[in-house]
Every structure is written in structure tokens, then in C-alpha cells.
Amino acid sequence: MNKAAHPAAPSAGWNFDNSYSRLAPVFFTAQDPAKVREPRMVIFNHALAQSLGLSAENLSGEAGAIIFSGNALPQGATPIAQAYAGHQFGHFNMLGDGRAILLGEQLAPDGGRFDIQLKGAGITPFSRRGDGRAALGPMLREYIISEAMHALGIPTTRSLAVVTTGEPVYRETVLQGAVLTRVADSHIRVGTFQYAAMLDDNSAVKTLVDYTLQRHYAGVAQAENPYIAMLDAVIDRQASLLAQWMHTGFIHGVMNTDNMSICGETIDYGPCAFMDAYDPGTVFSSIDAQGRYAFGNQPPIAQWNLARLAETLLPLLHDEQQAAVEIAQELLSSFAAKFRQYWLNGMRAKLGLTNAEDTDTGLIEALCKCMLRHRLDYTNTLRDLASDAIRQSPAWQQEDFRAWHDDWQQRLARQPATMETAMSLMLQRNPAVIPRNHQVEAALEAANAGDFSVMQKLLEVLAEPYRDNPAHAPYRLPAPPSAQRYQTFCGT
């Protein structure tokens, strides 16, 4: 690519470092984005740009379209495709960025370091199959859901921009091509460690772990054995993340080890979706016929993925293999208890409980069973509990729900906190709005036809998920029965 042909405006605010591309060459290949025919900005994240120290004024229009399509490189970028591996639905494969290109790391004014990645930016040496491209719908879907997750307070990669390419992409039908600019604390995955462990090079895992320690786990870098401490910390962050998914009904859909970030962010929004009626068996993804990644399976799957990570770290945990295995097993077995504690604390808050009683787990599980039995909407039932709205809700028609409600009221009355405190806590922890599948689909359908206003409105609503706003009431409705057998497709 001829960089001189498109000199980037210095006032755009780029402040790149490229620490990953200084890592050993086995971890990536240099790869420029492919040029596209007619880049056009369709959505730009002003607030995110600002927090990154980027000029929205400079980048939200045509100049930004040129950068975020990959047609020109921002100042200081060293574009690479990252190598990784992964267990996909349980089967190990060597992978790598097949359609994503990391431009570099933007050093933000707050001191943060953020990967800036173009997704859908063309073929790389890792694109064994596939065209290296992405379609507009799935890229907007990632934008909407990742930004909704952020607003919900859940650790996630972010979305800075979506640019259409003016070129077709061929899937089951002909679709519009697009490039998403993804912002992440990093794109290091469990699968990156698996890749390093497969190399004929004993030092690769250590190089990667030392880098990860410095970048994401500096707090434990001084521990007696920092590798043990890091594994412990990774497990802790994943336990916390999984609890937050379970608190909001988020179903990732494709929890392969290459789609699990080492720093504990939600990453790789493919066939993900939010559950409507509470049911641990909920699966939306068309490719997950066995339900491996069903809602209720997510915590044990996370633990399984973490075991794959621990395997790669064994030589660093202890000199003797047996001792290393024992250390790893002990750490891995702590996942369940850690997850349980995060989950329980969060569910207590969702029910307005400010102290702990032994019977709380039973109280929470009884509510879940009741929601399952009557196919009650998970999000709405919990939100309605925080006000009189519960008496007008579908839940209230159920006798066993009203009995549960009595028990819960008595539990609230026993705690020192006032009802007012409990209710205000609940309003902060139970979102009024989530990205409902039918709303997301409607936004994408309009966008595909050239009308981006439906998506803009949806994004506005999703940016304030905990606020009571009567104007947002339509966004609280679960899908009409006709749309309830919702399926998501991988969308590559």
C-alpha cells in the first residue's frame, strides 16, 4: 500500500504504539488491509473516539471512511494479522486473523492502550477459506450489541466505526460489504496461548505470558510465581465476566477458545443474542445444534476453556510436571466457587438484597424456576420487581409467583436497608432495555435498505439501559410470538 498517497491528517489524534508487532515474529504476519472501491461511513462512535483521544470532527466523515476502510493507514500504524489457534466446538484448529487486521495500539489520553482492529479488511495468510470480508448486517450487529454491553457495564470490546465498502460480499445471497473498527484492551485470546504452545519453540509461551502480564496483569507481575498468579487472575476475571453474562441473559453463542479474551472482555460477537423468556437451555445459534453454548452451559464451558489455557502454562507453573498439574487443577477448580460467588452477589443486588442470608440461593433459584415454568421474560420480570409494575406484569397472574413475592418481601423486611434503598439498588442492577432480537433485526433490515435512523434510535435507547424513560417503553417488549423462534447465523 502506498502510504504517501494518503497522508493522514496529524490532527486526527493518532498516537500509536505497536508493542505486539515487536513481539517475536511467530505471533503475526505483516499485512496491509486490501483497498475497497467506495468507502462510506455509516456509523461513527463519537464518545469512544473522544475517550481514545481521536478527533471525531476529523474522522467521522470522509477522511475517517478512508482510514476505517483500510484505504489509508493512520500515522504510526504497523498493520498485522495475528496468529492464534483454538478449540472450535471442542476441536482443535490452527487459526489466525482471517479477515481482521490490527493497525496498532492507540495510546489514549487516560493512559490506556487500545488495539485498533479492522474487521473485514481483506484476505490474510490465515484466511484458509473465506474471502477476508464482512457483510454490513453482522458488522452493525456487533456494533449494536458490543456498545449495549458496554452501556450495561459488562467488560467488552468496543466499536468505533462501520464503513461500507461499495463492494458485494457473497454469502447465501449477495450482501453489502463493510468493515468494522473494533477497539479492545487487546486481542490476545486463550487460543493465542494454544498457538504458542504448539510451536517448536519452548520460549514462545513464556514470551506471550510475559507480555500479557505486563499489559493486563501488572498487579500480579511481582508475585512469587507470577505465572500462577496470572492464571489465578485470568480465572477470576472470567468468573466475574460469566456472572455478568448470566445476570443479563447474554448468550455468546460461540465460546470457542479463540473467542475468549485473556483480559476478560467479551469478544467476537457472532451469533450472540439476549434471552427473552428465562430458560437455561436457550440456544439461538443455528450452528450450535448440540446446545454446547446454551445459556446455562456458559459457566462450565468457560471453565473448560480455562483448562485449555492452563495446559499451555504447565511448564511455567512448576518445574515438575506432576506438581504443575496439581497447581493447575486447584486453580481451575476454584472457578466454580468464584463464579458462584460473583453470581450470587449480583443476583442479591438484582433482588435488592444488601446483606447475606443462607437461604438467599434458594430464594433466587425459586424465582428462576418460576420464570422457567411460566416462560416469564427474564429482563422484564426482574426490572418490574423494582416497582409497582410487577402487579401489572404477566408474572403476577401466577399464584406461585405471588407466593414467591411474599417470601421475598419478608426477606427484604428483615434486612437493615430501607425499602427505598433496596428499590434504588434494583433499578441500578436490572436493565429496563436490552438489545431485543426483533429490534436488532428491524434496525439491520432498515440499514441494509439504506435507512440508518432505526439503528441510531436503537443505539440511543441502549446507551441508557438503566433509565426509566416512558418513550423507551416499546423497546422493552419481548418479541411477538410470531418472532419467537429466533435464530442467529454466524454471519461470516
Binding residues for Mg ion, rule: CB under 5 A, are 259, 268
C-alpha cell at 238: 472470567
Task: Name which of ligand AMP, Mg ion, none residue 130 binds, using a CB cut-off of 5 to 8 Å depending on partner kind.
Answer: ligand AMP
The nearest distance, CB 147 to ligand AMP, in angstroms, is 19
- Give the integer Cα–Cα distance in Å for 251 and 285: 9
The nearest distance, CB 257 to Mg ion, in angstroms, is 10
**CA nearest to 140, candidates 456, 432, 483, 436:** 456
Residue facing Mg ion at closest CB distance: 268
Choose between 196 and 371: whose C-beta lies nearer to ligand AMP.
Answer: 196
Please say whether the beta carbons of 328 and 319 come within 8 A: no
Task: Name which of ligand AMP, Mg ion, none residue 132 binds, using a CB cut-off of 5 to 8 Å depending on partner kind.
Answer: ligand AMP
The nearest distance, CB 130 to ligand AMP, in angstroms, is 2
State the helix-helix crossing angle for 453-462 and 136-152, rounded to 10 degrees. 20
Report the phi/psi class of residue 491: left, alpha or beta, with left for phi > 0 and alpha for psi in -120 to 50. left
Please say whether the beta carbons of 454 and 446 come within 8 A: yes
Give 159-217 as a DSSP string. EEEEEEEEEEEESSSEEEEEEEEEEES---BHHHHHHHHHSS-THHHHHHHHHHHHHH-
* Among 64, 270, 352, 431, interactor with ligand AMP by CB under 6 A: 270
Choose between 268 and 384: whose C-beta lies nearer to Mg ion.
Answer: 268
Residue type, 247: H
The nearest distance, CB 35 to ligand AMP, in angstroms, is 17
Strands (E), 261-325: 273-274
**CA nearest to 268, candidates 33, 491, 442:** 491
Choose between 199 and 463: whose C-beta lies nearer to ligand AMP.
Answer: 199
Give the angle 472-474-476 at the CA atoms, nearest 5°. Answer: 80
Task: Name which of Mg ion, ligand AMP, none residue 191 binds, using a CB cut-off of 5 to 8 Å depending on partner kind.
Answer: none
Catalytic status, residue 288: no
- Give the integer Cα–Cα distance in Å for 31 and 240: 35
Please say whether the beta carbons of 384 and 395 come within 8 A: yes
Distances (CA, A) of 361 to 336, 365, 370: 15, 6, 14
Residues 6+ apart with CB under 8 A from 278: 249, 368, 371, 372, 375, 376, 377, 378, 381
Phi, psi of 170 (to 5 degrees): -105, 115
- Give the integer Cα–Cα distance in Å for 293 and 284: 9
Question: Count residues contacting ligand AMP (CB under 6 A)?
Answer: 17
- Give the integer Cα–Cα distance in Å for 271 and 60: 28
Choose between 170 and 474: whose C-beta lies nearer to ligand AMP.
Answer: 170
Choose between 96 and 137: whose C-beta lies nearer to ligand AMP.
Answer: 96
The nearest distance, CB 145 to ligand AMP, in angstroms, is 14
The nearest distance, CB 168 to ligand AMP, in angstroms, is 13
The nearest distance, CB 182 to Mg ion, in angstroms, is 11
**Could you say which residues in the range 74-133 bind ligand AMP, by CB under 6 A?**
95-99, 126-127, 130-133
Of the residues 115, 185, 258, 288, only one is catalytic, namely 258
Please say whether the beta carbons of 180 and 143 come within 8 A: yes
Interface with ligand AMP includes 492 (CB under 6 A)? Answer: yes
Choose between 119 and 383: whose C-beta lies nearer to ligand AMP.
Answer: 119
**CA nearest to 101, candidates 6, 29, 160:** 29
Choose between 269 and 378: whose C-beta lies nearer to ligand AMP.
Answer: 269
Please say whether the beta carbons of 271 and 491 come within 8 A: yes
Choose between 51 and 127: whose C-beta lies nearer to ligand AMP.
Answer: 127
- Which residues share a beta bridge with 106? 16, 114
Choose between 21 and 259: whose C-beta lies nearer to Mg ion.
Answer: 259
Binding mask 223-262 for ligand AMP (x = CB under 6 A): -------------------------------x---xx---
C-alpha cell at 155: 467488560
**Could you say which residues in the range 133-172 bind ligand AMP, by CB under 6 A?**
133
The nearest distance, CB 181 to Mg ion, in angstroms, is 16
Cell numbers 452493525 correspond to what residue? 140
Task: Name which of Mg ion, ligand AMP, none residue 133 binds, using a CB cut-off of 5 to 8 Å depending on partner kind.
Answer: ligand AMP
By annotation, the residues acting in catalysis are: 258
| Site residues, ligand AMP (CB under 6 A) | 95-99, 126-127, 130-133, 254, 258-259, 268, 270, 492
